[in-house]
Copies of this chain bind each other. A is one copy, B any other.
Amino acid sequence: MLLRIDAHAATPIFEQIVAQIVFAVARGDLTPGELIPSVRELAQELLVNPNTVARAYGELERQSVLVTRRGRGMEVTLDARRACQRAREEQIRQRFRADLRDAAGSGLPAARVRKLLADELRRAYGNHAPQADSTKKT
């Protein structure tokens, strides 16, 4: 489990875990049917409180991303991937929307916003190929 947790960040640890697992499923790094680490294991690996991991797992179960296999642990559900991809995209869209609403509301000119976005897009995705196949490298 290659999760990067920042204990100092503003967003709660359990939410970071939830988001990272959703992302991993969306990416295909976690595949349906795959058993994920136990609460205790992951807590030890991430150096966080087991309650925190349990809360994240509970949230993911509620979202039907994980199911508990009694006696074996928790695994990714069969239709988790498409759901996670949809959730991921919707989440990102909502954040763009909120940010752009604030940018517009603060009087930042559209041209400036486009410049910022171009800069940051290059930063996040590199400026090599003009498009596509970005899934392979991430």
Contact = CB atoms under 8 A, between A and B. Distances in A.
A40 interface: no
Which secondary structure dominates chain A's binding surface?
Answer: helix
Given A49-B71, A131-B110, A131-B114, A138 B93 contact: no
A19 interface: yes
Contact of A135 (B88, B97, B109): B109
Interface of A: 7-8, 12-13, 19, 22-23, 26-28, 49, 62, 67, 69-71, 88-89, 92-93, 95-97, 99-114, 116-125, 131-135, 137-138
Copies of this polypeptide in the complex: 4
Given A93-B116, A95-B99, 19 more contacts: A7-B69, A12-B70, A19-B102, A23-B102, A26-B106, A88-B106, A88-B108, A89-B108, A89-B116, A92-B102, A92-B103, A92-B106, A95-B95, A96-B116, A104-B124, A108-B138, A109-B135, A114-B121, A121-B138
Contact of A97 (B8, B62, B124): B124
Contacts of A134: 104, 109-111, 114, 117
Contacts of A7: 69-70
Contacts of A28: 107
